Structure 1
Amino acid sequence: MRILIADDDPQILRALRITLSARGYEVTTAADGTSAINAAVADRPDLFMVDLGMPGLSGLEVIHAVRGWSRAPILVVSGRTGAADKVEALDAGADDYVTKPFSIDELLARIRALTRRAPGHDPEPVTRIAGITIDLAAKSITRETDHGAQPIRLTPTEWDMLGILVRNAGRLVTRQHLLTEIWGSEHVTDTGYLRLYIAQLRKKIEPDPKNPRYLLTESGMGYRFKPEE
Protein backbone atom coordinates (compact mmCIF):
# COMPACT_ATOMS: atom_id res chain seq x y z
CA MET A 1 0.00 0.00 0.00
CA ARG A 2 1.35 3.41 -1.03
CA ILE A 3 1.09 6.40 1.31
CA LEU A 4 2.01 9.97 0.41
CA ILE A 5 2.95 12.17 3.38
CA ALA A 6 2.94 15.93 2.78
CA ASP A 7 4.45 17.97 5.64
CA ASP A 8 7.01 20.77 5.86
CA ASP A 9 8.55 19.41 9.09
CA PRO A 10 11.55 17.22 8.09
CA GLN A 11 11.60 15.48 11.49
CA ILE A 12 7.99 14.39 11.16
CA LEU A 13 8.56 13.24 7.58
CA ARG A 14 11.57 11.17 8.64
CA ALA A 15 9.84 9.66 11.67
CA LEU A 16 6.70 8.73 9.76
CA ARG A 17 8.65 7.34 6.82
CA ILE A 18 10.66 5.06 9.12
CA THR A 19 7.65 4.01 11.20
CA LEU A 20 5.30 3.30 8.30
CA SER A 21 7.96 1.63 6.15
CA ALA A 22 8.73 -0.72 9.04
CA ARG A 23 5.08 -1.80 8.97
CA GLY A 24 5.14 -2.63 5.28
CA TYR A 25 3.81 0.59 3.77
CA GLU A 26 5.42 2.12 0.69
CA VAL A 27 6.01 5.76 1.65
CA THR A 28 6.57 8.86 -0.49
CA THR A 29 7.17 12.24 1.15
CA ALA A 30 6.70 15.83 0.03
CA ALA A 31 7.80 18.98 1.87
CA ASP A 32 5.41 21.42 0.20
CA GLY A 33 2.06 21.51 -1.52
CA THR A 34 3.32 21.67 -5.09
CA SER A 35 5.58 18.65 -4.57
CA ALA A 36 2.68 16.80 -2.98
CA ILE A 37 0.43 17.29 -6.01
CA ASN A 38 3.20 16.30 -8.42
CA ALA A 39 3.91 13.16 -6.37
CA ALA A 40 0.20 12.35 -6.20
CA VAL A 41 -0.13 12.38 -9.99
CA ALA A 42 3.13 10.46 -10.53
CA ASP A 43 2.78 7.81 -7.80
CA ARG A 44 -1.01 7.40 -7.45
CA PRO A 45 -0.92 6.74 -3.66
CA ASP A 46 -3.58 4.67 -1.94
CA LEU A 47 -3.78 7.12 0.99
CA PHE A 48 -2.75 10.74 1.60
CA MET A 49 -1.50 12.25 4.86
CA VAL A 50 -1.57 16.03 4.57
CA ASP A 51 -0.48 18.84 6.87
CA LEU A 52 -2.50 22.04 6.50
CA GLY A 53 0.29 24.57 7.05
CA MET A 54 2.78 24.08 4.21
CA PRO A 55 4.72 26.63 2.13
CA GLY A 56 3.45 27.48 -1.33
CA LEU A 57 0.21 25.60 -1.83
CA SER A 58 -1.52 24.99 1.48
CA GLY A 59 -2.83 21.66 2.68
CA LEU A 60 -6.36 22.76 1.83
CA GLU A 61 -5.29 23.54 -1.74
CA VAL A 62 -3.69 20.10 -1.96
CA ILE A 63 -6.93 18.48 -0.76
CA HIS A 64 -8.96 20.41 -3.33
CA ALA A 65 -6.55 19.43 -6.11
CA VAL A 66 -6.48 15.77 -5.13
CA ARG A 67 -10.25 15.59 -4.83
CA GLY A 68 -10.49 16.84 -8.41
CA TRP A 69 -9.61 13.32 -9.58
CA SER A 70 -8.84 10.96 -6.69
CA ARG A 71 -11.13 9.13 -4.27
CA ALA A 72 -8.23 7.84 -2.16
CA PRO A 73 -8.61 8.53 1.59
CA ILE A 74 -7.10 11.79 2.87
CA LEU A 75 -5.98 11.96 6.51
CA VAL A 76 -5.13 15.45 7.74
CA VAL A 77 -2.30 15.48 10.30
CA SER A 78 -2.03 19.03 11.59
CA GLY A 79 -1.09 21.16 14.56
CA ARG A 80 -4.22 23.23 14.06
CA THR A 81 -6.67 22.22 16.74
CA GLY A 82 -9.55 24.62 16.11
CA ALA A 83 -12.94 23.27 15.18
CA ALA A 84 -13.15 25.66 12.22
CA ASP A 85 -9.93 24.23 10.73
CA LYS A 86 -11.24 20.69 11.08
CA VAL A 87 -14.58 21.56 9.51
CA GLU A 88 -12.89 23.37 6.62
CA ALA A 89 -10.58 20.43 5.92
CA LEU A 90 -13.40 17.89 6.04
CA ASP A 91 -15.61 20.05 3.83
CA ALA A 92 -12.74 20.33 1.34
CA GLY A 93 -12.69 16.54 0.99
CA ALA A 94 -10.56 15.13 3.81
CA ASP A 95 -11.80 11.89 5.37
CA ASP A 96 -10.30 12.18 8.85
CA TYR A 97 -8.30 14.60 11.00
CA VAL A 98 -5.57 13.96 13.59
CA THR A 99 -3.99 16.75 15.62
CA LYS A 100 -0.31 16.99 16.52
CA PRO A 101 1.17 15.67 18.71
CA PHE A 102 -0.34 12.25 18.09
CA SER A 103 0.36 8.70 19.15
CA ILE A 104 1.62 6.26 16.53
CA ASP A 105 -0.92 3.67 17.63
CA GLU A 106 -3.79 6.10 17.04
CA LEU A 107 -2.37 7.12 13.66
CA LEU A 108 -2.03 3.50 12.55
CA ALA A 109 -5.58 2.78 13.67
CA ARG A 110 -6.88 5.74 11.63
CA ILE A 111 -4.95 4.52 8.58
CA ARG A 112 -6.38 1.01 8.93
CA ALA A 113 -9.91 2.38 9.28
CA LEU A 114 -9.56 4.59 6.20
CA THR A 115 -8.07 1.85 4.04
CA ARG A 116 -10.94 -0.49 4.91
CA ARG A 117 -13.28 2.10 3.40
CA ALA A 118 -11.09 2.87 0.38
CA PRO A 119 -13.13 2.87 -2.86
CA GLY A 120 -10.57 1.23 -5.15
CA HIS A 121 -8.56 2.49 -8.10
CA ASP A 122 -8.84 6.07 -9.32
CA PRO A 123 -9.23 7.16 -12.90
CA GLU A 124 -6.32 8.77 -14.67
CA PRO A 125 -6.20 12.47 -13.71
CA VAL A 126 -5.48 13.49 -17.31
CA THR A 127 -7.85 12.60 -20.17
CA ARG A 128 -7.34 13.50 -23.84
CA ILE A 129 -10.04 13.67 -26.49
CA ALA A 130 -9.93 15.20 -29.98
CA GLY A 131 -7.00 17.52 -29.28
CA ILE A 132 -8.38 18.51 -25.88
CA THR A 133 -6.59 17.75 -22.59
CA ILE A 134 -8.72 17.54 -19.43
CA ASP A 135 -6.60 17.64 -16.25
CA LEU A 136 -8.81 16.96 -13.24
CA ALA A 137 -5.95 17.41 -10.76
CA ALA A 138 -5.03 20.87 -12.04
CA LYS A 139 -8.63 21.76 -12.95
CA SER A 140 -7.51 22.85 -16.39
CA ILE A 141 -8.71 22.07 -19.89
CA THR A 142 -6.82 23.05 -23.02
CA ARG A 143 -7.21 22.66 -26.78
CA GLU A 144 -4.24 22.10 -29.06
CA THR A 145 -4.07 24.67 -31.86
CA ASP A 146 -1.50 25.81 -34.41
CA HIS A 147 -0.44 28.38 -31.83
CA GLY A 148 -0.03 25.88 -28.99
CA ALA A 149 -2.32 24.86 -26.14
CA GLN A 150 -5.17 27.30 -25.59
CA PRO A 151 -7.18 27.24 -22.34
CA ILE A 152 -10.89 26.52 -22.41
CA ARG A 153 -12.78 28.41 -19.75
CA LEU A 154 -15.33 26.48 -17.70
CA THR A 155 -17.62 27.79 -15.00
CA PRO A 156 -17.44 26.12 -11.57
CA THR A 157 -20.68 24.25 -12.29
CA GLU A 158 -19.43 23.10 -15.68
CA TRP A 159 -16.29 21.80 -13.95
CA ASP A 160 -18.37 19.94 -11.37
CA MET A 161 -20.43 18.27 -14.06
CA LEU A 162 -17.51 17.41 -16.32
CA GLY A 163 -15.51 16.06 -13.37
CA ILE A 164 -18.29 13.67 -12.35
CA LEU A 165 -18.70 12.41 -15.91
CA VAL A 166 -14.97 11.98 -16.58
CA ARG A 167 -14.36 10.20 -13.26
CA ASN A 168 -17.11 7.77 -14.29
CA ALA A 169 -15.85 7.40 -17.87
CA GLY A 170 -17.79 4.79 -19.82
CA ARG A 171 -20.47 4.45 -17.15
CA LEU A 172 -23.98 5.84 -17.11
CA VAL A 173 -24.37 8.75 -14.68
CA THR A 174 -28.03 9.24 -13.86
CA ARG A 175 -29.72 12.61 -13.94
CA GLN A 176 -30.64 12.22 -10.28
CA HIS A 177 -27.01 11.61 -9.32
CA LEU A 178 -25.77 14.68 -11.19
CA LEU A 179 -28.49 16.91 -9.79
CA THR A 180 -27.91 15.71 -6.23
CA GLU A 181 -24.11 16.00 -6.42
CA ILE A 182 -24.11 19.50 -7.94
CA TRP A 183 -27.24 21.24 -6.68
CA GLY A 184 -28.47 19.10 -3.79
CA SER A 185 -31.26 16.59 -3.27
CA GLU A 186 -33.95 19.28 -3.39
CA HIS A 187 -33.25 19.73 -7.12
CA VAL A 188 -33.58 16.10 -8.29
CA THR A 189 -36.43 17.02 -10.65
CA ASP A 190 -34.80 20.10 -12.20
CA THR A 191 -33.57 18.35 -15.34
CA GLY A 192 -33.54 21.61 -17.28
CA TYR A 193 -30.34 22.51 -15.44
CA LEU A 194 -28.65 19.44 -16.85
CA ARG A 195 -29.69 20.06 -20.44
CA LEU A 196 -28.43 23.64 -20.22
CA TYR A 197 -25.01 22.77 -18.83
CA ILE A 198 -24.51 19.70 -21.03
CA ALA A 199 -25.25 21.90 -24.05
CA GLN A 200 -22.69 24.45 -22.86
CA LEU A 201 -20.05 21.77 -22.28
CA ARG A 202 -20.65 20.29 -25.73
CA LYS A 203 -20.13 23.70 -27.34
CA LYS A 204 -16.78 23.94 -25.58
CA ILE A 205 -15.32 20.46 -26.07
CA GLU A 206 -17.21 18.59 -28.80
CA PRO A 207 -15.92 18.87 -32.41
CA ASP A 208 -19.57 18.92 -33.54
CA PRO A 209 -21.86 19.84 -30.61
CA LYS A 210 -25.00 18.82 -32.52
CA ASN A 211 -23.59 15.32 -33.02
CA PRO A 212 -21.71 14.64 -29.76
CA ARG A 213 -19.04 11.95 -29.64
CA TYR A 214 -17.94 12.23 -26.00
CA LEU A 215 -20.79 13.65 -23.91
CA LEU A 216 -23.60 11.27 -24.75
CA THR A 217 -27.23 11.41 -23.69
CA GLU A 218 -28.84 8.19 -22.48
CA SER A 219 -32.48 8.94 -23.19
CA GLY A 220 -34.62 9.05 -20.08
CA MET A 221 -31.75 8.05 -17.82
CA GLY A 222 -28.77 10.38 -17.80
CA TYR A 223 -25.41 10.98 -19.48
CA ARG A 224 -22.23 9.11 -20.29
CA PHE A 225 -18.70 10.34 -20.98
CA LYS A 226 -17.20 8.23 -23.74
CA PRO A 227 -13.41 8.57 -23.94
CA GLU A 228 -11.35 7.86 -27.02
CA GLU A 229 -11.13 4.18 -27.99
Structure 2
Amino acid sequence: MTIPLDGVPPHGTVAAALQWAARQAGGRPVSTLDLLVALMRADSTGEWHRLWLHCGDADAIAAKPVQDPASEARGPWKGTPLTHTCAEALDVSRRLAERYGFSPLPAGILALGLVADDTSAASRALGQGLGRQDLLQLLQDAILGTTLSSLRTTLPKALAESAVVGEAAVAIPPHTPPPTPRHASTASRSSLPPGQYVPVRDEALLQFLEEGRRRRRRADKVWLCCCVVPLMIWLLAFLLAFAVAERS
Protein backbone atom coordinates (compact mmCIF):
# COMPACT_ATOMS: atom_id res chain seq x y z
CA MET A 1 0.00 0.00 0.00
CA THR A 2 1.22 3.50 -0.76
CA ILE A 3 1.95 5.53 2.36
CA PRO A 4 -0.28 8.66 2.50
CA LEU A 5 1.59 11.71 1.10
CA ASP A 6 4.44 9.42 -0.03
CA GLY A 7 6.65 11.37 -2.42
CA VAL A 8 5.11 14.79 -1.78
CA PRO A 9 6.42 16.72 1.25
CA PRO A 10 3.70 18.44 3.30
CA HIS A 11 3.82 22.17 3.93
CA GLY A 12 4.69 23.10 7.52
CA THR A 13 1.06 24.02 8.16
CA VAL A 14 -0.12 20.60 6.95
CA ALA A 15 2.49 18.77 9.05
CA ALA A 16 1.50 20.82 12.11
CA ALA A 17 -2.18 20.01 11.51
CA LEU A 18 -1.43 16.28 11.29
CA GLN A 19 0.53 16.40 14.55
CA TRP A 20 -2.19 18.43 16.27
CA ALA A 21 -4.93 16.06 15.07
CA ALA A 22 -2.96 13.05 16.33
CA ARG A 23 -2.62 14.59 19.79
CA GLN A 24 -6.30 15.48 19.98
CA ALA A 25 -7.39 12.02 18.82
CA GLY A 26 -5.69 10.51 21.89
CA GLY A 27 -4.80 7.18 20.29
CA ARG A 28 -7.86 6.52 18.13
CA PRO A 29 -7.54 6.79 14.34
CA VAL A 30 -7.54 10.38 13.07
CA SER A 31 -10.65 11.12 11.00
CA THR A 32 -11.15 13.61 8.20
CA LEU A 33 -13.09 15.79 10.64
CA ASP A 34 -10.21 15.71 13.17
CA LEU A 35 -7.75 16.74 10.47
CA LEU A 36 -10.04 19.43 9.03
CA VAL A 37 -10.47 21.12 12.41
CA ALA A 38 -6.72 20.89 13.12
CA LEU A 39 -6.01 22.41 9.70
CA MET A 40 -8.35 25.32 10.42
CA ARG A 41 -6.48 26.02 13.66
CA ALA A 42 -3.00 25.60 12.21
CA ASP A 43 -3.48 27.57 8.98
CA SER A 44 -3.05 31.29 9.65
CA THR A 45 -3.10 32.39 6.00
CA GLY A 46 -6.32 30.79 4.75
CA GLU A 47 -9.55 32.79 4.90
CA TRP A 48 -11.41 30.18 6.91
CA HIS A 49 -13.85 32.78 8.20
CA ARG A 50 -15.48 32.73 4.76
CA LEU A 51 -16.45 29.08 5.34
CA TRP A 52 -17.39 29.69 8.96
CA LEU A 53 -20.08 32.12 7.80
CA HIS A 54 -21.89 29.11 6.31
CA CYS A 55 -20.83 26.21 8.53
CA GLY A 56 -19.90 27.64 11.95
CA ASP A 57 -16.40 28.10 13.34
CA ALA A 58 -13.84 25.39 14.11
CA ASP A 59 -15.38 24.56 17.50
CA ALA A 60 -18.87 24.25 16.02
CA ILE A 61 -17.58 22.03 13.21
CA ALA A 62 -15.65 19.83 15.66
CA ALA A 63 -18.85 19.25 17.64
CA LYS A 64 -20.89 18.03 14.66
CA PRO A 65 -22.00 14.39 15.06
CA VAL A 66 -20.50 13.06 11.82
CA GLN A 67 -18.11 10.16 11.25
CA ASP A 68 -16.09 8.82 8.37
CA PRO A 69 -17.91 6.02 6.55
CA ALA A 70 -14.82 3.79 6.86
CA SER A 71 -13.62 4.53 10.39
CA GLU A 72 -11.41 1.48 10.89
CA ALA A 73 -7.68 2.13 11.24
CA ARG A 74 -5.62 2.01 8.06
CA GLY A 75 -2.03 2.73 7.03
CA PRO A 76 -0.50 5.38 9.29
CA TRP A 77 1.26 8.65 8.56
CA LYS A 78 4.54 8.67 10.53
CA GLY A 79 3.09 6.33 13.12
CA THR A 80 -0.23 8.15 13.44
CA PRO A 81 -3.18 5.81 12.77
CA LEU A 82 -5.75 7.19 10.32
CA THR A 83 -9.24 6.09 9.43
CA HIS A 84 -9.51 4.41 6.05
CA THR A 85 -11.39 7.48 4.76
CA CYS A 86 -8.72 9.88 6.09
CA ALA A 87 -5.87 7.83 4.61
CA GLU A 88 -7.74 7.88 1.31
CA ALA A 89 -8.14 11.67 1.59
CA LEU A 90 -4.39 12.12 2.13
CA ASP A 91 -3.65 9.97 -0.90
CA VAL A 92 -6.11 12.00 -2.98
CA SER A 93 -4.35 15.16 -1.78
CA ARG A 94 -1.02 13.73 -2.91
CA ARG A 95 -2.46 12.96 -6.34
CA LEU A 96 -3.89 16.47 -6.65
CA ALA A 97 -0.55 18.01 -5.64
CA GLU A 98 1.24 15.94 -8.29
CA ARG A 99 -1.41 16.68 -10.92
CA TYR A 100 -1.33 20.46 -10.41
CA GLY A 101 2.35 20.82 -9.50
CA PHE A 102 2.14 21.81 -5.81
CA SER A 103 5.20 21.06 -3.67
CA PRO A 104 5.20 21.16 -0.73
CA LEU A 105 1.57 20.12 -0.39
CA PRO A 106 -0.39 23.20 0.83
CA ALA A 107 -3.36 23.48 3.17
CA GLY A 108 -5.79 24.18 0.31
CA ILE A 109 -4.93 20.93 -1.49
CA LEU A 110 -5.32 18.98 1.75
CA ALA A 111 -8.70 20.63 2.35
CA LEU A 112 -9.87 19.54 -1.11
CA GLY A 113 -8.63 16.01 -0.47
CA LEU A 114 -10.56 15.85 2.82
CA VAL A 115 -13.84 16.58 1.02
CA ALA A 116 -13.12 14.56 -2.14
CA ASP A 117 -15.40 11.83 -0.81
CA ASP A 118 -18.74 13.53 -0.29
CA THR A 119 -19.59 10.99 2.44
CA SER A 120 -16.51 11.79 4.57
CA ALA A 121 -17.02 13.43 7.96
CA ALA A 122 -15.23 16.59 6.79
CA SER A 123 -17.36 16.87 3.66
CA ARG A 124 -20.64 16.37 5.54
CA ALA A 125 -19.66 18.84 8.27
CA LEU A 126 -19.00 21.56 5.69
CA GLY A 127 -21.74 20.48 3.31
CA GLN A 128 -24.46 21.19 5.88
CA GLY A 129 -24.13 24.88 5.04
CA LEU A 130 -22.89 24.78 1.44
CA GLY A 131 -23.73 22.98 -1.78
CA ARG A 132 -21.13 20.61 -3.20
CA GLN A 133 -19.83 22.84 -6.01
CA ASP A 134 -20.05 25.97 -3.86
CA LEU A 135 -17.93 24.22 -1.21
CA LEU A 136 -15.24 23.17 -3.70
CA GLN A 137 -15.09 26.66 -5.21
CA LEU A 138 -14.91 28.37 -1.82
CA LEU A 139 -12.08 26.08 -0.68
CA GLN A 140 -10.14 27.02 -3.81
CA ASP A 141 -10.81 30.76 -3.46
CA ALA A 142 -10.43 31.15 0.31
CA ILE A 143 -7.87 28.49 1.28
CA LEU A 144 -5.88 27.51 -1.81
CA GLY A 145 -5.92 30.98 -3.35
CA THR A 146 -6.38 29.84 -6.94
CA THR A 147 -8.88 27.99 -9.11
CA LEU A 148 -7.83 24.58 -10.43
CA SER A 149 -8.75 23.74 -13.99
CA SER A 150 -11.02 20.72 -14.54
CA LEU A 151 -11.25 20.00 -10.80
CA ARG A 152 -14.82 18.77 -11.23
CA THR A 153 -13.50 15.76 -13.18
CA THR A 154 -10.00 15.51 -11.68
CA LEU A 155 -11.18 15.17 -8.07
CA PRO A 156 -13.42 12.11 -8.54
CA LYS A 157 -10.78 10.54 -10.78
CA ALA A 158 -8.14 10.97 -8.07
CA LEU A 159 -10.54 9.46 -5.54
CA ALA A 160 -11.19 6.46 -7.77
CA GLU A 161 -7.48 5.90 -8.38
CA SER A 162 -6.45 6.30 -4.75
CA ALA A 163 -4.02 3.60 -3.74
CA VAL A 164 -5.72 3.05 -0.38
CA VAL A 165 -9.12 2.12 -1.80
CA GLY A 166 -10.38 -1.43 -1.51
CA GLU A 167 -8.47 -4.60 -0.76
CA ALA A 168 -5.08 -3.04 -1.47
CA ALA A 169 -5.37 -1.12 1.81
CA VAL A 170 -3.78 -2.97 4.69
CA ALA A 171 -5.55 -2.51 8.00
CA ILE A 172 -3.68 -1.91 11.24
CA PRO A 173 -4.63 -4.68 13.68
CA PRO A 174 -7.42 -3.25 15.86
CA HIS A 175 -5.65 -4.07 19.15
CA THR A 176 -2.25 -2.69 18.17
CA PRO A 177 -1.40 0.17 20.59
CA PRO A 178 -0.22 3.43 19.06
CA PRO A 179 3.52 4.15 19.26
CA THR A 180 4.84 5.83 22.38
CA PRO A 181 6.21 9.35 21.72
CA ARG A 182 9.99 9.54 21.48
CA HIS A 183 10.41 11.83 24.47
CA ALA A 184 8.45 9.67 26.91
CA SER A 185 10.56 8.20 29.68
CA THR A 186 10.92 4.44 30.14
CA ALA A 187 9.12 4.65 33.48
CA SER A 188 6.20 6.53 31.97
CA ARG A 189 5.85 3.97 29.18
CA SER A 190 5.71 1.03 31.55
CA SER A 191 3.06 2.67 33.74
CA LEU A 192 0.64 3.43 30.89
CA PRO A 193 -2.30 1.14 30.01
CA PRO A 194 -1.97 -0.37 26.52
CA GLY A 195 -3.03 1.93 23.71
CA GLN A 196 -2.51 5.27 25.46
CA TYR A 197 -0.08 8.10 24.69
CA VAL A 198 2.18 9.92 27.08
CA PRO A 199 1.25 13.61 26.89
CA VAL A 200 4.16 15.54 25.37
CA ARG A 201 4.32 19.29 25.03
CA ASP A 202 5.64 20.40 21.67
CA GLU A 203 6.52 24.01 22.38
CA ALA A 204 7.36 24.80 18.76
CA LEU A 205 3.99 23.52 17.59
CA LEU A 206 2.12 25.37 20.34
CA GLN A 207 3.94 28.60 19.45
CA PHE A 208 3.13 28.05 15.76
CA LEU A 209 -0.58 27.63 16.49
CA GLU A 210 -0.66 30.60 18.87
CA GLU A 211 0.99 32.79 16.23
CA GLY A 212 -1.68 31.69 13.77
CA ARG A 213 -4.43 32.70 16.20
CA ARG A 214 -2.80 36.10 16.73
CA ARG A 215 -2.60 36.67 12.98
CA ARG A 216 -6.27 35.81 12.56
CA ARG A 217 -7.21 38.24 15.32
CA ARG A 218 -5.17 40.98 13.63
CA ALA A 219 -6.82 40.17 10.30
CA ASP A 220 -10.26 40.41 11.91
CA LYS A 221 -9.39 43.84 13.34
CA VAL A 222 -8.16 45.06 9.96
CA TRP A 223 -11.33 43.80 8.30
CA LEU A 224 -13.42 45.54 10.94
CA CYS A 225 -11.60 48.85 10.50
CA CYS A 226 -11.45 48.74 6.71
CA CYS A 227 -14.93 47.43 5.93
CA VAL A 228 -17.39 47.63 8.79
CA VAL A 229 -16.49 51.08 10.15
CA PRO A 230 -16.57 52.84 6.72
CA LEU A 231 -19.85 51.11 5.97
CA MET A 232 -21.36 52.38 9.22
CA ILE A 233 -20.11 55.91 8.50
CA TRP A 234 -21.59 55.77 5.01
CA LEU A 235 -24.89 54.50 6.36
CA LEU A 236 -25.00 57.25 8.99
CA ALA A 237 -24.28 59.89 6.35
CA PHE A 238 -27.01 58.46 4.15
CA LEU A 239 -29.53 58.56 7.00
CA LEU A 240 -28.59 62.14 7.85
CA ALA A 241 -28.92 63.19 4.22
CA PHE A 242 -32.28 61.45 4.01
CA ALA A 243 -33.49 63.20 7.16
CA VAL A 244 -32.39 66.61 5.82
CA ALA A 245 -34.13 65.93 2.53
CA GLU A 246 -37.32 64.97 4.33
CA ARG A 247 -37.34 68.22 6.33
CA SER A 248 -36.78 70.36 3.26
TM-score, length basis structure 1: 0.30
Larger radius of gyration: 2
More helix by share: 2
| More contact order relative to length (CA 8 Å, sep ≥ 6) | 2
